[in-house]
Structure 1
Amino acid sequence: EMKVIIDWVANHTAWDHHWTIDHPEFYEKDEDGNFKAPVEDWEDVIHLDYGNPDLWDAMIGDMQFWIDETGIDGFRCDMAHLVPTLFWNRARRDLDKIKPVYMLAESENFDLLEYAFDTIYNWKLMHAMNEVAAGNANSKKLGETISNEFKYLPKGASFMNFTSNHDENSWQGSAIERIHYFLEPLTVLTFLIPGMPLIYSGQEAGNYRRLKFFDKDEIEWKEDKMFGLFQKLIKIKKSITDPAEEPELRNIKTDAPDQVVAIALFKDEVKCLCLLNLSDKEVHFYVKCQNLNGQYRNLIDDDQQSYSCHNRFTLSACGYLVIG
């Protein structure tokens, strides 16, 4: 079932927002009484003042309009950590009175997950992937990042996992610029670990360039191998996701820790095993997983085969294997 959420920027507005005339008291001012930007180089927007309780009422009222009048299912909240968590908590309470909503925070702050939000951005994962691709970290470091992040995730909350987003694409480079030949295996990773995978605009159409941030910049929609991969990964994601009980994520040891990331999803037994070769050479290795024993299906190409902890696996450079 598809859900629709819209972007909500609660920290600032454009200079021509009607509140600048109708409610100038909603804004922070500089020492001369002028509107000011929230951050020094964000000169295209002006900062709202959450010290004013009337702003809280107005902001939540506008959010309620979109839920009540249009039937959308929630919000993706821009730079959510710049707005008081207490505001978000109240907003969530009031929105849920209309209907249960889904709230995504563009933030990595865990306190937002205590009540107001369902999902936060997994920035640490993306930065770790960039480091591996740049040769500044190895697969072992990436596996440790995954384990550490999920260790502190509150029950019922989730990460949004991604290789790119609008900021990263425009300012730091497209996914192919940053992670190069590792794009496919790292895309697989974002779908196989628990959470919500993000497909950024044009990734399914092979858009490998930076999109302009402030100007219209049309994506060329064309056939690309990533489209087929995304189709398969969405199907796999649906098959391994259980809303009632999220499978347990485990970082699996191998005898090639510097080259291979191995993660498994467990629910009584191995539900899914994902092996990624994050090196530019073919690698042969064993996985140290006693629970791996029996007939498994290659979830990418649909081939069935017997696997056990005694199997010697081979992955080509930048290759991957997903079985379940």
Structure 2
Amino acid sequence: MQRFLFSLLPLLTVGLLATACERRAEADLVSTTTEVSDLAVEPRIPEWEKDAVIYEVNLRHFTPEGTFAAFENHIPRLAEMGVDILWFMPVHPISEKNRKGELGSPYAAADYKGVNPDFGTMEDFKSMIDAIHAAGMYAIIDWIPNHSGWDNPWITEHPDFYTKKDGKITDPINPHTGESWGWTDVADLNYDNPELRDSMIAAMAFWVREANVDGFRVDVAHGIPVDFIEQAADSLYRIRPLFMLAEAEVPEIVNNGAFVMDYGWEMHHVLNQIARSQGAHRAATTDLSNIAREESEAEDRVTALEIDRVLAKYDSLYDRGYKMMFTSNHDENSWAGTEFQRMGEGHKAFAVLTATFSGMPLIYTGQESAVDKQFEFFTKDEVEWGNYKYADFYRTLFELKERNQALWNGPHGGELVKIQTGTDENVYAFTREKNGDRVVVMINLSATPQSFELGTGDYAGTYTDVFANEQVKVQPGQSRELGAWEYVVLSNK
């Protein structure tokens, strides 16, 4: 779920549009951890995560059928594009009670061990997972531990699993005001109950053991007690190495080893603000209310210099793991607008930036076909795939990431070293190096052409321009020019 960052620590969030998709604004993460668990020393992370890229699958919209079986037809092209991890939005049945919209929110789970019959059967799901693995990719599923749908059997079988207000099970409550957030299609789970914890972990383990998933993207991870996150991760890592992604920006749950990756929300919103400052954005079709206000109330002039501030902040707060970097995801698309609406003509420049940072790049359903559409959240809204206009663009970036160790994820890759340009408020230039592999990246994050001179640094050499496919010599003191939103990615490998 989406959030906007207000605090000095990147764990405070703002919900979106009072829907079941919305999540806590200024969620207070409660930590009751009393000792360091084994996982904080040796989390069991799969070896394949080191150079992986991730793709978010909105299965409901992906095909006309919206099924596991139909999605299998897309597996070969996604593998060819260089995708490594497929993250599936929730595959669980959706509660009918208190449902929002025609089909309801995928995040209102009616059964933690079942699959949505609209998508197919459990056997269909397992077949799809087998096909993904056969193609050399991996699959993680969305997990929703903060709340369940109102049809979930736990409601009647274990009412003590839920938070109560005035003696009745309640939807999630704003802890600051005591009032409902408005997420009326879900019931709040109470992690003070040890039996709930055991049942939730057992349900997650079911998908690892029985369905052979490779990990989880944990929804509203910022709202779950840290000691439960440690308990769950410790239990799951004991089964086998897994890839764990937190929908959060909370250093504690990455530093303790529970998650290998969380969201780069603060960076994402800085990129949106840079685009807005350059006049690149255009109005989204959704009533943006809080979202548009948050973006518009940002400083009038946000420049590429803000990128360094956020990177420095991340470096100071995180001891482990890395960030998921993105220009879109299901929340941004549905509630804040497409990358075209938020970033305008700069959307590809920002995509290059997120793919060459130290974090893992994300691509969302439809981005490879330049789909400029805000997908409906509570009903069917089929993707019009067209000719996969940007598939080669993403393939170029993803294949480079795989072959050049400088671009590997987090500690596996090279340190980002800034190259001064004399116009750093407009041009973001840097080099990364690891084990002799090096890249030099120059991106004009402005709507006007820029002329500049490369500053000092250890990056002189002959490189391949990966998009132009030609040899280029680069050295400090060299004069360069970039057109509006133009980018150059150079690799020595």
| Normalised-by-shorter TM-score class | over 0.9
Selected match of 1:277 from 437, 444, 455: 444
Partner of 1:152: 317
Take 1:64 and 1:11, find their aligned partners in 2: how far apart are those partners? 17
> Displacement of 1:296 after TM fit?
1.0
Q: Is the 8 A contact 1:269 1:291 kept in 2?
A: no
Is 1:179–2:343 an aligned residue pair?
A: yes
Matched letter for residue 253 of structure 1: Q
Shift of 1:267: 2.8
Aligned with 1:225: secondary structure? coil
Answer whether contact 1:85 1:112 (CA < 8 A) is retained: yes
Displacement of 1:185 in angstroms is: 0.6
Aligned to 2:269: 127
| Number of equivalent positions | 323
Provide closer, same or farther for how the CA distance between residues 236 and 147 of structure 1 changes in structure 2, counting only shifts above 3 A.
Answer: farther
Distance 2:162 2:418 in 1: 47
For 1:201, the aligned partner's letter is: T
List runs of 5+ in structure 2 lacking aligned partners: 1-135, 174-179, 278-300
CA contact (8 A) 1:147 1:251 kept: no
Match among 357, 370, 387 for residue 223 of structure 1: 387
Residue 207 in 1 paired to residue 374 in 2?
no
Q: Deviations over 1:79-119 (max 9, x none)?
A: 10111111111111111111011100000001110221110
Given candidates 169, 187, 190, the residue that maps to 1:34 is 169
User: In the TM superposition, what is the alpha-carbon distance from 1:65 to its structure 2 partner?
Assistant: 0.6
**Do the aligned partners of 2:463 and 2:471 also contact (CA within 8 Å) in 1?**
yes
Q: Which amino acid aligns with 1:45?
A: V
1:311 aligns with 2:478: yes
Match of 2:207 in 1: 66
Which has the higher mean CA deviation after the structures are superposed, 284-293 or 200-209? 284-293
Shift of 1:127: 0.3
1:24 alignment partner, one of 138, 152, 159: 159
CA distance in 2, matches of 1:180, 1:133: 7
Structure showing the higher strand proportion among its residues: 1
Q: 1:238 to 1:268 in 2, by over 3 A?
A: closer
Contact 2:161 2:193 (C-alpha < 8 Å) held by counterparts? yes
Partner of 2:359: 195
Letter matched to residue 58 of structure 1: S
- Give runs of aligned pairs for residues 28-177 of structure 1, distance below 5 A: 28-38=163-173, 40-113=181-254, 114-135=256-277, 136-155=301-320, 157-177=321-341
- Is the partner of 2:416 in helix, strand or coil? strand
Task: Report the CA distance shift for 1:24/1:87 in structure 2 as closer, same or farther (over 3 A).
Answer: same
Contact 2:431/2:438 (8 A) holds in 1: yes
Q: Aligned with 2:241: secondary structure?
A: coil
Identity fraction in percent: 33
Question: Secondary structure of 1:51's partner?
Answer: coil
Aligned partners of 1:273, 1:127: CA distance in 2, in Å?
Answer: 24
- The question of whether the paired residues in 1 share the 8 Å contact of 2:268 and 2:327 is answered with yes
Structure 2 match to 1:286: 453
Alignment match, 2:403: 239
SS at match of 2:266: helix
Q: Determine which structure has greater relative contact order: mean sequence separation of CA pairs < 8 Å that are 6+ residues apart, divided by chain length.
A: 2
Deviations 1:171-229 (A, max 9, x none): 11111100111101100011101121110111111111111111111110112432221
Residues 1-22 of structure 1: CA deviation (Å, up to 9, x unaligned) = 4111000000000111111111
1:286–1:304 Cα change, 3 Å: same
Distance 2:435 2:441 in 1: 17
The secondary structure found in structure 2 opposite 1:288 is coil
- How much is the aligned-residue C-alpha RMSD, in angstroms? 1.6
Aligned residue for 2:412, secondary structure, equals: coil
Structure 1 position 286, deviation (Å): 1.3
- Asked if the contact 1:132–1:142 (Cα under 8 Å) also holds between the matched residues in 2, the reply is no
